[in-house]
Amino acid sequence: MKKEKDQVSLYKLVFTQNWEDPESDHTALQIKSGDAVQAITSGGCNVLGFLLFDPTIIYSVDINPAQSYVLELKIAGIRSMEFEEFIAFAGLAEHPRRLGLYERARPSLSKEAADFWDGQDKLLSKGFIMQGKYERFIKLASKFIKILQGRKRVMGLFKERTQEQQGDYFDKVWNTKRFHYMFKVLFNKRMLAKKGLVADYFHFDDGSRSFAESFYNRSRKAFRNIPIKGNYFVSLYLLGKYRNSNEVPAYLKKENYALIRSRLDRIKIITSEAQSWIDSMPAESINCFALSNICELMSERDTLRLFEGVYRTARPGAMVSFRNLMIPRDVPQILKDKIVKDEMLSKQLYDTDRSFVYGKVAAYSIKK
């Protein structure tokens, strides 16, 4: 396949899957049949999963065109392939000609998405799962963990246990000096800056003195306090892959495939900064907002603009899910009586969030 001159560089592909726990969003948003949903695209996994709740439309918004193209690729694959073929195309099963599968999906892509994927034979031949910039970093980290902890200890973490036994395993077997050392090596400012996260970007509101310490505390919660069984995020971080066909996002499960495929036309992909897009939307037109942690890259002025747009476009009783990675961000003070945080639910979400990278996972409701 010939590479187009105007192709978007592959390095701009940050995620090939979502790292936001969809279960947290489901709990926060309570999407109902007929709802209009706005979500940040990222890897597109959660957008596809939202279709199971029967919304009328999902506005999938991302400032990065490469993320739009990932979702387009997944949609095109689902349209053109049976489940077993799509799983192989994704990279979760063997297939002798993944590039042939891509050729079948290609007619469903926009010109821009086709230009992006044409020439990416190496990536497509491996399958798109775990191929973004962040995922490649995670695979590197998983190899380092296996070296430091040993394969036996790593695989032992996945053994089925009671919650008490899981806590004991973490305290007595897993929580080694080498495990602490890993965070200092892989999650310091200099290393993260090389992976696209600017070193001066990090501030902490969780009592931690560094990203390494903060990320260690979050991983401790996930490995010790949240059931390992069913948590595919832990598999991805420690093994660099999904552990089995049951512990995967909803769109990769056979029982969901036909229903998701029947509703693909309800997804509208938008490449735009969120605040500009939301300014273009009619008043009281959206029921659910899945905002991820996008405000961490915004100024306070743009954050206010975004949430003013959320309030204006929200239908009465609309719900919002919102995250922080590192930089503390919240609804601007001037809007806190209109976009109201559910403190109890937010604590529950944070305590049970399977994707432990986020420093805050919170739920809000719109009061009009």
294-344 confidence digits (pLDDT tens): 998 888 899 999 999 999 999 999 999 999 987 778 999 999 999 999 999
Q: What is the DSSP string of 335-355?
A: GTTTEEE-HHHHHHHHHH-SS
Whether 120 is covered by a domain: the verdict is: yes
Residues 175 and 273 in one domain: no
- At residue 362, the pLDDT reads 97
pLDDT mean over 119-145: 92
Residues 214 and 269 in one domain: no
Q: Who has greater pLDDT, 322 or 190? A: 322
Neighbours of 244 (CB within 10 A): 10
Backbone φ and ψ of 145, nearest 5°: -60, -45
Tokens of residue 53, six digits: 């709740």
Residues 272 and 319 in one domain: yes
Q: What is the DSSP string of 270-286?
A: EES-HHHHHHTSPTT-E
pLDDT class for 359, splitting at 50, 70, 90?
confident
SS3 of residue 366 by DSSP: strand
Whether 244 is covered by a domain: the verdict is: no
Q: What is the largest CA-CA distance in the chain?
A: 57
Number of structural domains the chain divides into: 2
193, 210, 239: which is the final residue of a domain?
239
- At residue 166, the pLDDT reads 97
Residues 142 and 199 in one domain: yes
Residues 294 and 199 in one domain: no
Whether 5 is covered by a domain: the verdict is: no
Percent of the chain whose pLDDT exceeds 70: 90
136-172: pLDDT as tens digits: 989 988 998 899 899 999 999 999 999 999 999 999 9
The domain that holds 68 is classified in CATH as 3.40.50.150
Which residue in 323, 11, 326 sits closest to 187, CA to CA? Answer: 326
Residue 103's domain spans which residues?
A: 10-129+249-366
28-61: pLDDT as tens digits: 999 999 999 999 999 999 999 999 999 999 999 9
pLDDT class for 192, splitting at 50, 70, 90?
low
Query: Which 8-state DSSP code applies to residue 2?
Result: P
pLDDT mean over 257-276: 97
205-263: pLDDT as tens digits: 555 667 778 888 889 999 999 999 999 999 999 999 999 999 999 999 999 999 999 99
Distance CA 175, CA 304 (A): 41
Residues 79 and 166 in one domain: no
How far, CA to CA in Å, does 300 sit from each of 185, 199, 223, 326? 32, 20, 34, 15
pLDDT class for 11, splitting at 50, 70, 90?
low
Q: What is the mean pLDDT of the chain?
A: 90
Residues 69 and 162 in one domain: no
Whether 322 is covered by a domain: the verdict is: yes
pLDDT class for 7, splitting at 50, 70, 90?
very low
Whether 29 is covered by a domain: the verdict is: yes
Residues 96 and 150 in one domain: no
239, 265, 290: which is the final residue of a domain?
239
Whether 261 is covered by a domain: the verdict is: yes
Residues 22 and 96 in one domain: yes
pLDDT above 50: residue 8: no
How would you classify residue 365: left for phi > 0, otherwise alpha for psi between -120 and 50, otherwise beta?
A: beta
Residues 145 and 231 in one domain: yes
Whether 320 is covered by a domain: the verdict is: yes
Residues 222 and 290 in one domain: no
- At residue 195, the pLDDT reads 52
327-336: pLDDT as tens digits: 778 999 999 9
Neighbours of 178 (CB within 10 A): 14
Helix ranges (DSSP H) in 106-230: 111-117, 121-126, 133-149, 151-156, 163-169, 177-186, 189-194, 211-225
Whether 33 is covered by a domain: the verdict is: yes
pLDDT above 60: residue 197: no
How would you classify residue 145: left for phi > 0, otherwise alpha for psi between -120 and 50, otherwise beta?
A: alpha
Residues 263 and 352 in one domain: yes
149 and 104 in contact (C-beta within 8 Å)?
no
206, 239, 272: which is the final residue of a domain?
239
Q: Who has greater pLDDT, 146 or 3? A: 146
